[in-house]
Structure 1
Amino acid sequence: MPELPEVEALRVFLADHLVGKEIARVLPLAISVLKTYDPPLSALEGADVTSVDRHGKFLDIGAGGLHLCTHLARAGWLRWKESFPATPPRPGKGPLALRTVTTDGDGFDLTEMGTTKRLSVHLVRDPQDVPGIARLGPDPLSDTFDRDTFAALLAGERRQIKGALRDQSLIAGIGNAYSDEILHVARMSPFKRTADLGEEEVTRLHTSLRTTLEEAVARSGGVEAGRLKAEKKSGMRVHGRTGEPCPVCGDTILEVSFSDSSLQYCPTCQTGGRPLADRRLSKFLK
């Protein structure tokens, strides 16, 4: 799933390639992708792109006073193209979900693999009209997201820190992968309760959060859209690396599986050497 660093890289890429160009057409190609109907997508035809912004994991393309807001979900992606075939694609065929073409002939496709369709596109007059954007918490890369702001957010929480980091209404943009990375850098168990965090742990977690995301954004800078997925994977220390050695201590990276996701961690760095059990069965292996 694209998270804050990848979406930020896409924002920068689109700002360089799309702003100032005129939209010729926007074609929805999957029945599930478009979540709004007023204004219609045809309202973008002839409009100049004036901005590309990011709200958490949402991309926001501004044109003609409207905002085309996209959430790529778990299996979605944006693919830039310098040109397109003269014949438009048939709706419902393959992974294509939406195509946006400029009068210069270039543009982008939104694609989504798999059978579960969660990619969403909203055309709105105000980004806050998108429910997913309206409920977002603060952006962790904002200049105002300091240690005290982070501590205040956690003060009202009574749950595992992994879940808190992934909650978009608490902090915008962090998903499964980067929460694993942040917790590894912070040397903290994903099952640790927010209520049990000491002052030094809050400081360490905030520092880890900022540095992990900033480093990921820096790695993604200048990478073309089509290579961002590979760049994300190559930069991971523990996420998606079950069975490999930890890059810090050399211990074997372990995994906890859930019904629809999994997490990875280093037992030596994060849990005092104790392997974590599947939470569907017990808290710890004994």
Structure 2
Amino acid sequence: MPELPEVLGLCRFLDTQLRGTELTKVQITSFAVLKTADPPYSALEGRTIAGVERFGKFISLDADGLFFVFHLAKAGWLRYTESPSSTQLRLGGSNIAARLLFTADNGARHIGVDLTEAGTKKSLAVHVVRDPQQVPGIATLGPDPLAPGFDGDTLAGILAGSSQQIKGLLRSQSVIAGIGNAYSDEILHAAKISPFAIAKSLDQDTVHRLHEALVNVLETAVQATTGKTSGDLKDVKRSNFRVHARTGLPCPVCGDTVREVSFADTSLQYCPTCQTNGKILADRRTSRFLK
């Protein structure tokens, strides 16, 4: 799933490429992907793109006062081309959920953007709204962790009132916007905190360490996306991981073996030496190692 750094990189890329273009055609190939009916998506056609903005993991295209907002979910991605096909897509005929066609330079340049989704479980979402805040997932977002006001005191206040495990709290979009499974693993490893630690149990020094790790991990990942095209961003994300998706490999900090805890539809990775005093978190239901 693309998270804050990749979504921001994608947003910046799209803003560079699409700002000032005319959105000439919108095709929706799955009824399930479109979450709104008023205004109709056809109302976007003929409008000029004024800019592209990120809200957590959502991307919003400002089409002259109407907004095409999408969330790529777990298996979605965006494919960009300057040689787009004008062929009418069939409903359910491919992994393409939506196609947007643009023109620039008085019709001399053509751009195509496909929203794609792999797998059978479809979660990619598209909203056409008059205000991005009309999207429920945006309206309920917590603070952005890279916003200037998100300091150590802000994080401490969030943690102090929560009995949730820190791994789940970092992933909760209504608490902190933009962090998902991958970067929560990386942040907790950098901060040397167990993923099962209870948020409000963390002392002041640990909270300070967590805030520092959170900012450093995300800013480093954002820097890695700078100047990258949509086709390069996935590889950039994977290349910087220390523990996430590295089960069985050595921890680059201490050399211990990276371990995994599996759940019904996801998993987490951690280093026992760096995060749990060498103890193995065998199962979410039975493990109680908090530090």
TM-score w.r.t. length of structure 1: 0.97
Does the 8 A contact of 1:51 with 1:61 survive in 2? yes
Residue number among 254, 273, 277 corresponding to 2:278 in the alignment: 273
Task: Work out whether 1:194 is the aligned partner of 2:199.
Answer: yes
Q: Gaps (5+ residues) in structure 2?
A: 104-108
Which letter does structure 2 place at the counterpart of 1:68?
F
Task: Please state whether the residue corresponding to 1:105 is helix, strand or coil.
Answer: strand
Q: Distance in 2 between matches of 1:129 and 1:271?
A: 42
Q: How does 1:1-286 map to 2 (within 5 A)?
A: 1-103=1-103, 104-283=109-288
**Is the Cα–Cα contact under 8 Å of residues 165 and 171 in structure 1 kept in the other structure?**
yes
Question: Is the contact between residue 277 and residue 283 of structure 1 (CA under 8 Å) also seen in structure 2?
Answer: no
Equivalent pair of 2:27/2:89 in contact (CA under 8 Å): no
Letter of the structure 1 residue corresponding to residue 29 of structure 2: L
Q: CA deviation at 1:89?
A: 2.0
Taking the aligned partners of 1:172 and 1:87, their CA distance within structure 2 comes to 37
Q: Deviations over 1:176-199 (max 9, x none)?
A: 000000000001100011121000
Q: How far apart are the structure 2 equivalents of 1:32 and 1:226?
A: 25
SS of residue matched to 1:106: strand
Q: 2:106 maps to what in 1?
A: none
**Can you list the C-alpha shifts for 1:207-254, whole angstroms capped at 9, x where unaligned?**
000000000000111111012111111111100000000000111000
Aligned partners of 1:160 and 1:190 also within 8 Å: yes
Give 2:38's aligned amino acid. D
**TM-score normalised by length of structure 2:** 0.96
The runs of 5 or more residues in structure 1 that have no matched partner are: none
CA distance in 1, matches of 2:226, 2:9: 6
Deviates more, 1:88-97 or 1:4-13: 88-97
8 Å CA contact retained: 2:26, 2:98:
yes
* Bigger shift: residues 9-18 or 227-236: 227-236
CA distance in 1, matches of 2:64, 2:134: 17
Quote how far apart the aligned CAs of 1:156 are. Answer: 1.1
Between Structure 1 and Structure 2, how many residues are aligned?
Answer: 284
Q: Which moved more, 1:79-88 or 1:131-140?
A: 79-88
Preserved CA contact (<8 Å) 1:18 1:107:
no
Q: Secondary structure of 1:209's match?
A: helix
Deviation at 1:282, TM superposition (A): 4.2
Q: Is contact 1:11-1:52 (8 Å) kept?
A: yes
Q: Structure 2: which amino acid aligns with 1:184?
A: H
Query: Quick one: structure 1 residues 281 and 201, their matched pair in 2 at CA, closer, same or farther if it must change by over 3 Å?
Result: closer
**Identical columns (%):** 58
| Deviant stretches of 4+, over 3 Å | 280-284
Q: CA deviation at 1:50?
A: 0.3
SS at match of 2:269: strand
Question: Structure 1 pair 70/86, CA: closer, same or farther in 2 (3 Å)?
Answer: closer
How far apart are 1:86 and its partner, in Å? 3.1
Equivalent AA in structure 2 for residue 207 of structure 1: E
Q: Residue by residue, what CA displacement relative to the aligned partner does 1:142-174 show, whole Å, maximum 9, x if unpaired?
A: 001011111111111111100110010000000
Amino acid at match of 1:255: E
Across the aligned residues of Structure 1 and Structure 2, the Cα RMSD in angstroms comes to 0.9
